[in-house]
Amino acid sequence: MSMSPATTPPVPSHPLRWLPEFWALGQRRLRPQARSLGLALVVGVLAGLGAIAFYSACQVVVHGALDHMLGYHPLHPGGEPPFWDPSPRPFRPWLLLLVPTMGGLISGFLVCKLAPEAEGHGTDAAIAAFHHRRGFIRPRVPLVKLVASALTIGTGGSGGREGPIAQIGAGFGSLIGGLFRLKPAERRILMAAGVGAGVAAIFRAPLAGALFAAEILYKSADFESDVIVPAALASTAAYCTFGIVFGWTPLFTLSPDILDSLTFGDPRHLIAYLLLALFMVVLAMMYTRSFHGLSHAFKRLPLPRIFKPALGAFATGALGLILYSAFGSDEQVLAVLSFGYGALQGALAMSTTAGADLHLALVMLAIALGKILTTGFTIGSGGSGGVFGPSMVIGGCGGGALGLVLSHFWPAMVPHPAAFVIVGMAGFFAAAAKTPVSTLIIVGEMTGDYHLLLPALWVCMITFLLSDEQSLYHSQLVSRSMSPAHQGDYVREVLADLRVGEFLDAGPDVRPLHPGDRLGETLDRLVGAEHVGLPVADSDGRYLGMVSLEEVHIASHLPGLGDLVVAADLMNTSLPVLRAGDPLDQALERFAESDRMALTVVSDGPEAHVLGLVRRADISAAYLRRVQGTLIGAEVPRQA
């Protein structure tokens, strides 16, 4: 029995046709965004080079200030050995009051004099540039941020590398966008890709960098989806650039025996992880509130701005000295200074018998609470550094302290205290920064271990859901709909089916000026009809340019020019023009680019004859009518 035509399977294409089909498909997908994706790779390489320079600068300052001058030899993460062997100088605790203060003073001077936007934690500045500054960051900011942050953190100020490198990468993205004259929307994406690339390189976490760039912009679960692909390319390029120089080892290293003990295999452990999540929510609330409270207090302090980072650094050193004395000269508590990553490496190297050491739990809790204060002192005072690194230390040490306590009293529910260090890092920042997904990934990439992916997912989602609305980043917005970067998206949706021709004003009062029309006649035409501008056309009606009322008004007040100036001298030939068939989303972009209240509509074809004008006010009126539901089949009234 023969098959009916409706059930006949489709005939596959001939293999020789596959290559042209794939080529055509690739052109359709990649051609519209080939330039932006290529530039994202360039930004990634530049961000990787910036991460190399920043990491090297931090190593130099730490060696000169903490190791050589202070005699303090902080423990380094396993994947980041120091450039030099520790100096033989003995530790001089009293210099804790001097060395951080000098670093804060020099950093504050550089920031205040060269780039005030480089103060504080740079990620917040990058977020603000995305939402409110059309993705623009001054070119000098990355260099100032690099030097100021290395001085602040390298001399003992509490801060992390995420903020500085995020602003450095964002600055490179903004710079490339400006050099290639990209539209604001494209520049925003390139800037955000730079944020992800910097994070990917400095933390050796390419996947997390791409997700971080898309997630960090909002407090809610919203993602900036347009950022993910360019950020992924930029993060890959940055990670490879950084890895060629400093290798591919994860930031924190774990011994094989600890790795074996971290495997999740008992659902009952989720009860203990639930306690960890609740503890991380409380710690995150303390961190965000104290950080913003100290920032506000420093802003109100009647002291010149240039000296405030020095005061914050002095308070940081003083707290470190107090903890050092209180814990019997135990240098472990000095992780409240500088990066503090060594405390995490030590916590991850705890033996399986460390659960009985409640003194170590007390030390780790002191580091977590002390780091909350020192970060507020350092960054809240205007010092330059990030808040992600301190968050890892706070969450990891706080989680490790809880893990040690639970392991002592309830050993069957805690597989290993180091597990609570890893999961605590993820859960704490998910609550403090509202980034549960990227934080989940970045902790796994920094430790090179995904055995705890399920409990980390459990804790991150709980902390994100239970955390309050207070975030570390002031510039985060609730959702995409609240961002100025996307205000035009909703206008386009409302006016999607309208064309420029429906708003064309072709009346006699908008007939074009002639190039030889005198200044007085031009002014009379503009003022009499209350127009903000008129097109200029030749004798055959071909478009030449546009004259605005503002330019004519300025020229009319210049003595002796009334008989000399003509319309051709006043017209602007660089303004964009519209065509009757153009959709309104293109018209809105042209209005935004030119910052004009009216644009000329010309005919199709090379002749470009003037047809009339379209005013921005008419489009706005149509938008309001549609939103209110009154524009249903009715003609949009034209402005007289």
d(CA 118, CA 168): 10
Q: Per-residue pLDDT for 496 more than 80?
A: no
Reported as a single tens digit per residue, the pLDDT across 347-363 is 888 765 544 478 889 99
Type and span of the H or E element at 614: strand 610-615
- Lowest-pLDDT range of 173-182, 236-245, 551-560: 551-560
Domain ranges of the chain: 33-252, 257-478, 495-627
Please state, as a whole number, how many other Cβ atoms lie within 10 Å of the Cβ of residue 11.
Answer: 6
Query: What pLDDT is stored for residue 511 in this prediction?
Result: 86
Query: What pLDDT is stored for residue 395 in this prediction?
Result: 95
Class of domain 495-627: alpha beta
Cα torsion through 419, 421, 425, 431, rounded to 10: 80
Ramachandran class of 382: left when φ > 0, alpha when ψ lies in -120 to 50, beta otherwise: left
d(CA 293, CA 281): 18
Rounded to whole angstroms, what are the CA distances from 165 to 84, 122, 293, 434?
23, 8, 25, 20
Band of the pLDDT at 531, cuts 50, 70, 90? low
Please state, as a whole number, how many other Cβ atoms lie within 10 Å of the Cβ of residue 355.
Answer: 22
Reported as a single tens digit per residue, the pLDDT across 379-405 is 999 998 889 889 999 999 999 999 999
Q: Per-residue pLDDT for 518 more than 90?
A: no
Band of the pLDDT at 226, cuts 50, 70, 90? confident
249 neighbors 78 (Cβ within 8 angstroms) = yes
Rounded to whole angstroms, what are the CA distances from 10 to 396, 503, 512?
58, 47, 59
Query: What pLDDT is stored for residue 64 in this prediction?
Result: 92
Band of the pLDDT at 492, cuts 50, 70, 90? low
Q: Per-residue pLDDT for 639 more than 50?
A: no
Band of the pLDDT at 324, cuts 50, 70, 90? very high
Structure tokens at 510: 């908008």
Q: How far is CA 356 from the centre of its chain?
A: 42
At the fourth CATH level, which superfamily is domain 257-478?
Clc chloride channel (1.10.3080.10)
Structure tokens at 101: 């203060």
Choice between 554 and 58, residue whose per-residue pLDDT is larger: 58
Give Rg (Cα) of the chain. 30
d(CA 411, CA 420): 13
d(CA 103, CA 626): 58
What single DSSP character describes residue 470?
A: -
Instruction: Give phi and psi for 548, each to the nearest 5.
Output: -105, 155
* Amino acid type, 340: G
Choice between 11 and 314, residue whose per-residue pLDDT is larger: 314
Token pair 């955390």: residue: 467
Choice between 459 and 477, residue whose per-residue pLDDT is larger: 459
Rounded to whole angstroms, what are the CA distances from 476 to 87, 487, 640?
43, 16, 43
- The count of residues in the chain is 640
Band of the pLDDT at 3, cuts 50, 70, 90? very low
Average pLDDT over residues 426-455: 89
335 neighbors 343 (Cβ within 8 angstroms) = yes
Query: What pLDDT is stored for residue 272 in this prediction?
Result: 93
Reported as a single tens digit per residue, the pLDDT across 558-616 is 766 666 788 888 888 888 889 888 887 778 778 777 778 888 999 888 888 899 888 88
Q: Per-residue pLDDT for 436 more than 80?
A: yes
Q: In what order do the strands lie in the sheet with 578-579?
A: 578-579, 598-602, 610-615
CATH entry 3.40.190.10 includes domain 33-252: no
Band of the pLDDT at 81, cuts 50, 70, 90? confident
Reported as a single tens digit per residue, the pLDDT across 273-314 is 999 999 999 999 999 999 999 999 999 999 998 999 999 999
| Closest among 434, 439, 435 to 469, alpha carbons compared | 434
Burial of 183 (C-beta count, 10 Å sphere; 0-12/13-18/19+): middle
d(CA 323, CA 331): 9
Average pLDDT over residues 131-152: 89
Ramachandran class of 156: left when φ > 0, alpha when ψ lies in -120 to 50, beta otherwise: left
Token pair 């390489």: residue: 45
Query: What pLDDT is stored for residue 198 in this prediction?
Result: 94
What single DSSP character describes residue 252?
A: S
Q: Per-residue pLDDT for 32 more than 70?
A: no
- CA torsion sign for 102, 108, 109, 115 is positive
Domains 33-252 and 257-478 belong to one CATH topology: yes
Q: Per-residue pLDDT for 42 more than 90?
A: yes
Q: Per-residue pLDDT for 633 more than 50?
A: no
- Lowest-pLDDT range of 301-305, 331-335, 414-418: 414-418
Query: What pLDDT is stored for residue 636 in this prediction?
Result: 44
| Closest among 588, 587, 614, 616 to 600, alpha carbons compared | 614
Instruction: Specify the pairing of strand 543-548 against strand 533-537.
Output: antiparallel
Q: Per-residue pLDDT for 10 more than 60?
A: no
Query: What pLDDT is stored for residue 354 in this prediction?
Result: 46
